[in-house]
Amino acid sequence: MLNLVKDELTLSSDSSLLINKDAHLIIKEDTNASVSLLVNSNEDVNITIDVKEYARLSLTIVSLGNIKKYNVTINVFESAYLDVCEANVAEGDIELNQTTNLVGRYAEVKSYEYISTKGNTNVKGIHLVNHKNSDTVSNTKCVYLTRDESSIVRNISSAIPEKMINSVSSETIKGVILGEKSRIIAEPILIIGCEDVHAAHGCAIGTLDDNEIYYLMSRGLSKSDAIKMITSSFIVPVLKHSKDEEYNNTIMSYLEKTIEVA
What mean pLDDT is reported for the chain?
A: 93
β-pair type (56-65, 108-117): unpaired
CA distance 207 to 140: 22
CA distance 167 to 195: 10
What's the pLDDT score for residue 261? 64
Render pLDDT for 189-237 as a digit per residue (tens, 0 to 9). Answer: 999 999 899 999 999 999 998 999 999 999 999 998 999 899 999 999 9
Render pLDDT for 106-136 as a digit per residue (tens, 0 to 9). Answer: 999 999 999 999 899 999 999 999 999 999 9
Sequence-ordered list of residues with C-beta below 8 angstroms from that of 40, at least 6 positions apart, any chain: 18, 19, 20, 63, 64, 65
Confidence of residue 138 (pLDDT cuts 50, 70, 90): very high
Residue 86: exposure state from Cβ atoms within 10 A (0-12, 13-18, ≥19): buried
Decide if pLDDT at 262 tops 80.
no
pLDDT > 90 fraction of the chain, expressed in percent and rounded: 84
Decide if pLDDT at 52 tops 60.
yes
What's the pLDDT score for residue 7? 83
CA distance 257 to 90: 11
What is the helix (H) or strand (E) element at residue 253, kind and residue range?
helix 245-257
- Which amino acid is residue 237, in one-letter code? P
Diameter of the chain measured on Cα atoms = 57
17: which DSSP letter? E
What's the pLDDT score for residue 92? 84
- Within a 10 A sphere around the Cβ of 3, how many other Cβ atoms? 10
Decide if pLDDT at 91 tops 80.
no
Confidence of residue 258 (pLDDT cuts 50, 70, 90): confident
Cα angle: 169, vertex 38, 231; to 5 degrees: 65
For residue 201, which of 125, 161, 143, 141 has the smallest C-alpha distance? 141
For range 48-59, the mean pLDDT:
98
3-state secondary structure of 18: strand
What's the pLDDT score for residue 42? 86
Please answer whether residues 72 and 47 qualify as being in contact, where contact means their C-beta atoms are separated by less than 8 angstroms. Answer: yes
For residue 61, which of 69, 52, 71 has the smallest C-alpha distance? 71
How far is the CA of 63 from the CAs of 29, 156, 232, 251, in angstroms? 27, 19, 18, 9
Confidence of residue 5 (pLDDT cuts 50, 70, 90): confident
Residue 183: exposure state from Cβ atoms within 10 A (0-12, 13-18, ≥19): middle
Please answer whether residues 94 and 68 qualify as being in contact, where contact means their C-beta atoms are separated by less than 8 angstroms. Answer: yes
DSSP notation for 87-155: EEE-SS-EEEEEEEEE-STT-EEEEEEEEEE-TT-EEEEEEEEEE-SSS-EEEEEEEEEE-TT-EEEEE
